[in-house]
Each structure stands twice: as structure tokens, then as C-alpha cells.
């Protein structure tokens, strides 16, 4: 029995589902009925040894049944959002712009310098140093090392995506195609202006009452509920009938609350409102990019990969290793990697042009959203959802074709040329660009990790 106890003690304790508890309890009763002379402790240890659990776990399950009369599964813990997931895409785009502004000035972008710019901006909130490091990696920056020279660069895939986008949008304009800009945003019930006139002579409520005055504007108690909005527009203004909005039920990045099926249904209706042979600019959010069919990945089972290849009449051998099969999939992936909405647009002689990840500044509708939100902030009074929906629709109508043209002109004549110049500038200074972050010594070695470098 001592051996049983020793082996049971080494077992790892864990939580059990109600079905597992029932099985353990049934074995306990079966052993007890089979040997009525055995002590309770001996039976607990025998059950534990047979099932590979701790004897104390068996004891707790028996006690739980005796005390409450039922066996319950453990409560599911709420999944905590990563700190990076709570930061919206607008902030991530702003951080990208800050880094590229350093590039444009041929200045070294360190974490401390970037944090200072964020602090000076005042609209991006407070971001910790470690969080900024995670955000930079999340939005596609990598820290390249070349002997003692190092350089903070966009990943190659993002660089090529950006270069291809700039060429594609230029070609669309040269071909006189109508360009529409699509995007989602959000507005909170408590959205209001950050500054307002304040009567500094009013010191208290009593003072205001005596002089027949007020204490000023009432400040919203919090952000309140969030309204998610999807819309599309061009140099002619917002597309009439293209507005889609609904109340948010979650916190964090609003992109995670969108649904691919609902977006596709909305997009199908909007396509009928757009000009023929037009281009639709949008980001690469997951609900914009649902594939027509699922292509095998490293997470797929080997048999599933083989079946997929055979369905496509692609030669493969069951004796091949999974890695070899995935390489075959990679070579044929482009033929089957189409997105649903891309094909929907193509069927109506329209083209979807996707923005590079975290390059929202290339979408003029972001500037339009800023004007819409500014108008909402200046007209909200009760800060209730019903009022917000009305004010939002009025604010969208306020943005006419002339305002849209100014936003598009800004992106076309300032943002795009600036981004092109930045890429060329970074390429020109790659070999001589040095970033010393965290360690100013010229003795830094290849073994320095990213945190020290940044």
C-alpha cells in the first residue's frame, strides 16, 4: 500500500469534468462494495492508483457528492485579452507613422524616442515600453542585424505589399477607373470634444445657483456603449444606402466583433450601387478575407492534406512526410487562394484592392471618419445610444463630395508620395543606418536580444 501511496502522490492534480468525476465515483463505490473490510483510505488510494489521479482528488469528488448530491464541471475561465489586442488599429497605424517619420528624417527610431512622440501627441493614450515593443512586432516591424550595424525595417512581405499597392492605385487612376474606399470604425456613446470653453469665475454649484448660472457642460460618466459602423465612399461622397451600423457587445479591437458572413451579405448589396469597372480599396481584416475553400496548413492532419491534393488532381505520395506535402500545397496554393468577396466583385466587373497591413493612412476614408467623429462630438448632448445613431447619420450627410475630394487629394498628393520617398530613403541608407538602443557601446554583440536593441 505504501508503494500505491507514493505513486499516487506523484500524480499531477487537475480539475475534472462532471463525467470524469462520475467515472471515478463509480469505481470508488465498486471497490468499496467488492471489499467491505478495506478502509476508506485504502480504497481512495487504490482508485487513485488505478486511474492515475491523486488520492486527494478522489476524496474531494466523494465529498462533493456527499455534500451537494451532484457533480459539477469546473467553471470556464474568461480568456484574457492580450494587451496588444486591446489597442485599436488607428493607434497601431499612428505608431507606424511615427516610426516612418523618423526614417524620413534619417533619424534613429528608438523605443524611447517613439514613446516620447506618443506622449507628445496626447491622443494615443499611455503605452508602456514593453507594450510598444510588442506592438512594433505585431504590426510587422523586425529588428535586423548586420554585424555591428542594425536597422528597424518592415518585414519583406509588408514592404512588397506596400510597393505593389502604390503601383496598383496609380494604375487605376491612370486608367480612369472609379475608386471607392471602404472601412469600418466605431463611436462611443460618451464621445465628446476634448476641449471646451469653461467659466473660471464659477467656483461651485452654490456660486452658480446664486448668480443664476450653470456649472458648465456635463461630462459623460464614461465611454458608454460602442456603435460599429461600415461605409463606403468615393470622390462623389458616401455611397447612398451603403451605411451599416450595429451596437458592439465586446471590448478590445472592434475588428474581432465583425462577422464575415454579415459583411459579405452587406458587400453583395453594396456592389450593385457601384460603377462598373471600379476599384474598391479596403484593408485585409479577417472578415474581408474569408477564403472560398480551406487550404491545408501546418495544423492540418497529414491524411487531410493528401485528400486535398488528390481532390485537386495534384500528384502526391502517401509515403511522403507531412512537410513535403505542405511544400506541394505551397507550390499550388495561389490557384486556390481566392477570397469570397474578391470573386463577388470580379463577377460584377469590379476589383478589390487591399491595403498593406496597418497602413490605414493610405485610405482617405480615415480622414473622413475623423471629420464625422468631430461632428458627432460637437453635437452630442445626452450621450445615449438613440441620440448617437441620429447624430451619426446627420454627421455622415454633413461630409459632402467636396470634403471627400480634399481627403482623397491629401492621400494622393502627400501621403502616397511621402511613403514612396520613405521606402527609397530607407533603401539608400540601409548600409549606413545604425540603431543603438539600450546600449550605446560599439561592443554590442550578435547575442543581444530584441529588448536590449529596442
Q: Is the pLDDT of residue 303 over 70?
A: yes
Q: Does residue 35 lie within any of the structural domains? A: yes
Give the SS3 label for residue 197: coil
The radius of gyration of the chain's CA atoms, rounded to the nearest angstrom, is 30
| Residue count (the chain) | 454
Cα 251 from chain centroid? Answer: 12
Residues 64 and 95 placed together within one structural domain of the fold? no
d(CA 192, CA 378): 6
**Highest mean pLDDT of the ranges 132-146, 191-205, 316-330:** 316-330
State which of 18, 36, 68 marks the end of a domain. Answer: 68
Rounded Cα gap, residues 170 and 225, in angstroms: 40
Based on the domain organization, do 373 and 291 belong to the same domain?
yes
Spatial CA neighbour of 429 closest among 98, 112, 141, 152: 152
pLDDT for 406: 96
pTM, full prediction: 0.63
In the block, cell 490605414 appears at: 360
pLDDT tens for each residue of 3-52: 444 444 444 456 777 788 888 888 888 888 888 788 888 888 888 888 87
pLDDT for 343 beyond 70: yes
Query: Same structural domain for residues 315 and 255?
Result: yes
- Residue 416 in this model has a pLDDT that exceeds 80: yes
- Predicted confidence at residue 217, as pLDDT, reads 60
Q: How many domains does the chain have?
A: 3
The string of pLDDT tens digits covering residues 42-78 is 888 888 888 878 888 888 888 887 877 777 777 665 5
> What is the rounded CA–CA span in Å between residue 256 and residue 82?
13
Residue 52 in grid coordinates = 492515475
State whether 98 and 55 are in the same domain: no
pLDDT at residue number 256: 58
Whether residue 297 sits in one domain with residue 188: yes
Mean predicted lDDT score pLDDT of the chain: 80
Partner residues linked to 143 by β-bridges: 152
Instruction: Give kind and range of the element (H or E) at residue 365.
Output: helix 365-379
Residues 145 and 20 in one domain: no
- Categorize the per-residue pLDDT at 295 as very low, low, confident or very high, splitting at 50, 70 and 90: confident
Q: What are phi and psi of 245, to 5 degrees?
A: -145, 150
Question: What integer is the mean pLDDT of 294-306?
Answer: 88
Percentage, residues of the chain above pLDDT 70: 80
Q: What is the pLDDT of residue 434?
A: 42
Q: Do 397 and 325 share a structural domain?
A: yes
CATH number at residue 238: 3.30.420.10
- Domain assignment present for 80: no
Burial of 28 (0-12, 13-18, 19+ CB in 10 A): buried
- Of the ranges 188-197, 222-231, 401-410, 423-432, the best mean pLDDT one: 401-410
Look at residue 446 and tell me whether its pLDDT is greater than 80: no
- pLDDT one-digit tens code per residue, 234-284: 999 999 999 999 887 765 555 556 788 889 999 999 999 999 999 999 998
Q: What is the pLDDT of residues 376-412, one digit of tens each?
A: 988 888 888 899 999 999 999 999 999 999 999 999 9
Q: Are residues 247 and 122 in the same domain?
A: no
Domain with 93, as residue range(s), is 89-157+433-453
Q: What's 306-341 look like in SS3?
A: HHHHHHCCCCCCCCCCHHHHHHHHHHHHHHHCCEHH
**Residue 166 belongs to a domain:** no
Q: Are residues 50 and 100 in the same domain?
A: no
- Per-residue pLDDT, 255: 53
User: Of all helices (H) and strands (E), which one includes residue 231?
Assistant: strand 226-234
Assigned domain for 98 exists: yes
Percent of the chain beyond pLDDT 90? Answer: 29
| Pair (254, 135) in one structural domain | no
CA 198 from centre of chain: 38
Amino acid at each position: 500500500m505504501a508503494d500505491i501511496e507514493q505513486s499516487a502522490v506523484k500524480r499531477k492534480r487537475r480539475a475534472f469534468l462532471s463525467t470524469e468525476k462520475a467515472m471515478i465515483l463509480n469505481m470508488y463505490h465498486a471497490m468499496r462494495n467488492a471489499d467491505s473490510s478495506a478502509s476508506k483510505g485504502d480504497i481512495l488510494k487504490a482508485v487513485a492508483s488505478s486511474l492515475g489521479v491523486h488520492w486527494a482528488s478522489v476524496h474531494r469528488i466523494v465529498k462533493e457528492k456527499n455534500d451537494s448530491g451532484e457533480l459539477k464541471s469546473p467553471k470556464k475561465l474568461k480568456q484574457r485579452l492580450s494587451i496588444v489586442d486591446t489597442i485599436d488599429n488607428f493607434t497601431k497605424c499612428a505608431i507606424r507613422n511615427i516610426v516612418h517619420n523618423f526614417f524620413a528624417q534619417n533619424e534613429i527610431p528608438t523605443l524611447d524616442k517613439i514613446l516620447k512622440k506618443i506622449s507628445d501627441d496626447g491622443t494615443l493614450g499611455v503605452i508602456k515600453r514593453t507594450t510598444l515593443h510588442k506592438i512594433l512586432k505585431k504590426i510587422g516591424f523586425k529588428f535586423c542585424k548586420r554585424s555591428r550595424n542594425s536597422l528597424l525595417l518592415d518585414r519583406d512581405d509588408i514592404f512588397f505589399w506596400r510597393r505593389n499597392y502604390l503601383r496598383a492605385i496609380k494604375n487605376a487612376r491612370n486608367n480612369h477607373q472609379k475608386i471607392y474606399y471602404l472601412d469600418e470604425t466605431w463611436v462611443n456613446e460618451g464621445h465628446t470634444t476634448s476641449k471646451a470653453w469653461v467659466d473660471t469665475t464659477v467656483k461651485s454649484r452654490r456660486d452658480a445657483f446664486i448668480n443664476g448660472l450653470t456649472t458648465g457642460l456635463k461630462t459623460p460618466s464614461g465611454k458608454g456603449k460602442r456603435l460599429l459602423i461600415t461605409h463606403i465612399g468615393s470622390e462623389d461622397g458616401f455611397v447612398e444606402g451603403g451605411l451599416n451600423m450595429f451596437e458592439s457587445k465586446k471590448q478590445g479591437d472592434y475588428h474581432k466583433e465583425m462577422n464575415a458572413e454579415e459583411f459579405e451579405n452587406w458587400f453583395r448589396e453594396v456592389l450593385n450601387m457601384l460603377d462598373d469597372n471600379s476599384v474598391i480599396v479596403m484593408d485585409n481584416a479577417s472578415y474581408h478575407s474569408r477564403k472560398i475553400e480551406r487550404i491545408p496548413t501546418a495544423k492540418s492532419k497529414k491524411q487531410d492534406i493528401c485528400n486535398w491534393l488528390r481532390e485537386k488532381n495534384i500528384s502526391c505520395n502517401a509515403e511522403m512526410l507531412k512537410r513535403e506535402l505542405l511544400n506541394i500545397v505551397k507550390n499550388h496554393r495561389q490557384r486556390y487562394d481566392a477570397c469570397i468577396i474578391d470573386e463577388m466583385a470580379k463577377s460584377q466587373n469590379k476589383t478589390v484592392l487591399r491595403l498593406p497591413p496597418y497602413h490605414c493612412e493610405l485610405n482617405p476614408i480615415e480622414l473622413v471618419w475623423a471629420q464625422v467623429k468631430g461632428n458627432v462630438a460637437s453635437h452630442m448632448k445626452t450621450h445615449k445610444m438613440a441620440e448617437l445613431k441620429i447624430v451619426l447619420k446627420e454627421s455622415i450627410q454633413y461630409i459632402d463630395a467636396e470634403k471627400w475630394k480634399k481627403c482623397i487629394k491629401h492621400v494622393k498628393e502627400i501621403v502616397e508620395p511621402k511613403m514612396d520617398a520613405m521606402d527609397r530613403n530607407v533603401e539608400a541608407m540601409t548600409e549606413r543606418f545604425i540603431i543603438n538602443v539600450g546600449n550605446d557601446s560599439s561592443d554590442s554583440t550578435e547575442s543581444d536580444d530584441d529588448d536590449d536593441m529596442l
